Amino acid sequence: MSDAASAVRWLLEQGEPEARRVAVRQIAKVPGREAPELLLCALGDDDWRVRKEATLVAPGLEHREEVVATLVAALEDTVNIGLRNAAVESLVAIGPDAVGATIDALDRLDADARKLAVEVLGGVPDTRGTSALARALQDDDANVRVTAAEALGKAALAGEESRELATESLVAALGASDVFLKMAVLDSLARLETRLPWSLFAPYVDDPLLRRYAIAAASGSRDPQAVRALALATGDTSPTIAREALVALGEVIAEAADTDLLECARAAIGSTDAGQASARRAAGQVDDPPARGGGLLALGLLGEAGDVPALVNALGDDDVAERADLALRLFGPSAVRPLLAAARKAKPTVHAAALALVGSLEGAPVAEVRKALRAGLRDAAIEVLSCAVESLGPLGEARDLRRLAKLVWHDDERVAAAATNAVCELAARHVDAARALLRDARSGHDPLVLGCILLGAIASTQPLRDDDVRLLQRALSHDQPQVRRAAIDALALGGGDAAADAVIFALADEEHDVQLAAARALGRLGRAETLVRVVRDTRDPALTATALRALGDADPERALASAGPLVVHADAAVACAAVEALGHLRSARGSGRVSVHVAVGCEDALFSALDHPDEEVVKLSLSLVGAQPGARALARLGLCLDHASTEVRCVAAELLGQDNSAGARALLRARYEREKDQIVRAAITTAASIRPMAEVTGSPSEWGETLSAKGSSGEGA
């Protein structure tokens, strides 16, 4: 035994657990083949901290084949339960390299050890493992069969092929007589989010033991019969089943692509008093967001005015706010009156969210909404005031212009910003009223502030007059930067050489915001030459980004020529600025403003950025490449799965998961088998488990028929 191994062994024999725990970390430094033996010793320690430390050390040890063999052998230990469990955990942590040996061992292990081996295979998403687990459903031992069925519930993490194989074998196992196996099978089918026909689960709904599992398993189905069954089950006498059904129904409602399914759910939930009571109860349960969300959506479908306060109240809970918002939209215009009544009594954040919602609710009675928003202008709470101001922008009338204009000077920056935006929107729609206000403003205490805002809005709809331009030029030397900025924005909209000449000087403004506004304005005014110089001369990343983007507006070819070389700039901030600008430019291709040649050039430059030494640049570029994937992009995403940075690999995996083509899935699978980092492996399995769009939108009944045809021949053990 080497000196290092002897020293570690001596430490592992000490009475103090902390000393043994620290010693475990030294195992990785032991050369040769003595490390597995020491690892085994540590995995069998009496203290959980020592065992846990050993499971963390195991994946990093050299001579992996021997480590795996030692660990698989440890599964057979009949005395030390701690050792067996730690061996399972270590094998799972080692990942794909442990799968082959574990499968090979299945034939020679006894039943207890086979069960543990099955747990290992369940913990490592791998297609080979899924096949072995499917075979284990026929094992002689009942415990092994049930464990295999449970493990197959995680098969989707190994990709679509695994999900299909697992689903097929689990459906076949439903024919078994073993009730515990059936429970495990149904539970796993639910976790696999299978979209199977209701007929497959219907036989188990009346079984008191299996009902809960059958309801949960049917949650992925979009079969109207399944939706009806789920809705009815929300009134189940068992609170657990009612909750499962509500959660599942909530998913159906949130994802419903057609109104028929919603109508089906509405009719079913409307026919069960117990279900409605259950939904109302759940809608108030703040400690259970999934059930609360389901309850809220069910109430949204029912559309009873008495439920609106509960929905409004939920707008203030981040965990379910989106569901509450959707539920109120399902209600439709009839929700407006009770919604506003409830909002007035709610806390300010909820009141504000409710005002925002009615302001964008399709079919809402505009006069009533305007009245509520105008009342909001008198509210003492800043959140409510700010929201009312913002919503009045698109909804208000000419007469609102004057009262909103007063808020442009509000002390709170949120209100002032919202008022500025709202005045712009209203002034653009009501130019005569804006002109009238402008005349009054010119005689007011500071005509330039409001004047610039109004002229900006007017300029977006009609040419400015000479005296308008003179006012804006005067505003460029105002002592408040926001006025100078507003003047620049207005001049940019007005156009013309005089405006451009005036704006150029603002590039030298001492305020950063004003410089950026000037760069944006020059883009709109078509001053490409100036912007090219700005990009060349500035060292400010924000100005570079803004100027490049503006250059894209003025002259896409020159924007590409300026931004392209900067993606490899040593300063990551500058490179990011260039990458962002190129992404923006490429996304404008659909508008017809950017030629195919420029779009391809942008893509090439984004690919170059993937070689940048700074991972932030790579991640940003990757994100933009992944936003519009094609064959070339897919190949680059695949390459990034091998990037040195774990974060880059995680982002690449996530993007490939979203792409979800067969090619993307193959790339993920190939990388998974080589990936050593557990966090990246988890990212890959999560990405691989995303279901392909074709299946989501395809006909579930057809898919289910195929499966049930396959499954009908299967017999359980």
Residues in contact with other proteins by CB under 8 A are 16-19, 21-22, 25, 48-50, 52-53, 56, 253-256, 318-319, 321-322, 325-326, 329-330, 353, 360, 362, 386, 390, 394, 413-414, 417-418, 421, 425, 485, 512-513, 541-542, 545, 573, 576-577, 580, 584, 616, 619-620, 623-624, 626-627, 647, 651, 654, 658, 679
* Closer residue to other proteins, CB minimum distance, 68 or 369: 369
**Least gap, CB of 378 to other proteins (angstroms):** 20
Q: For residue 36, which amino acid is it?
A: P
CB of 471 to other proteins, least distance (A): 21
- 334 within 8 A of 305, measured Cβ to Cβ: yes
- Kindly report the number of other CB atoms within 10 A of residue 259's CB atom: 9
Q: Which amino acid is at 192?
A: L
Tracing tokens 């809220």 back to the chain, one arrives at 296
Q: Closest approach of Cβ 510 to other proteins, in Å?
A: 12
CB 173 within 8 A of CB 185: yes
* 519, two tokens: 């760069």
Give 329 or 337: the residue with its C-beta nearer to other proteins: 329
User: Which CB sits closer to other proteins, 210 or 320?
Assistant: 320
Write down the least CB distance from residue 707 to other proteins, Å: 28
- Dig out the tokens for 396 from the structure: 């208000």
Closer of 210 and 249 to other proteins (Cβ): 249
Give the three-state DSSP class for 108. Answer: coil
Shorter beta-carbon distance to other proteins: residue 130 or 386: 386
Residue whose CB is less far from other proteins, 589 or 619: 619
3-state secondary structure of 27: helix
Tokens of 20: 């043994």
* Minimum distance, C-beta of residue 319 to other proteins, in the bound complex (Å): 8
> At closest approach, how far in Å is the CB of 616 from other proteins?
8
Cβ proximity to other proteins: between 112 and 540 the closer is 540
Nearer to other proteins, 142 or 417 (CB): 417
In 234-286, alpha helices (H):
239-255, 259-270, 273-283
Residues 6+ positions from 225 with CB-CB distance below 8 Å:
198, 199, 202
Tokens at 234, concatenated:
């929300």
Which residue's CB is nearer to other proteins, number 5 or number 624? 624
- Rg of the chain over Cα atoms, rounded to whole angstroms, equals 32
Tokens 């009475």 -> residue: 15
Q: Is the CB of residue 149 less than 8 Å from the CB of residue 192?
A: no
Least spacing, CB of residue 413 vs other proteins, in Å: 5
Quote the least distance from Cβ 64 to other proteins, whole Å: 20
Structure tokens belonging to residue 216: 């949960």
Minimum distance, C-beta of residue 390 to other proteins, in the bound complex (Å): 7
Burial class (CB in 10 A: 0-12, 13-18, 19+), 37: middle
Inter-helix orientation angle 528-537/541-554, to 10°: 160
Cα 517 to Cα 362: distance, rounded to the nearest angstrom:
35
Which residue, 493, 518, 516, is CA-closest to 504? Answer: 518
The distance of closest approach from Cβ of residue 350 to other proteins in the complex, given in angstroms and rounded to an integer, is 12
Q: How does DSSP assign 461-501, residue by residue?
A: TSPPPHHHHHHHHHHTT-SSHHHHHHHHHHHHHH-SHHHHH
Between 134 and 488, CB nearer to other proteins: 488
C-beta of 168 vs 614, nearer to other proteins: 614
Shortest gap between Cβ of 6 and other proteins (angstroms)? Answer: 21
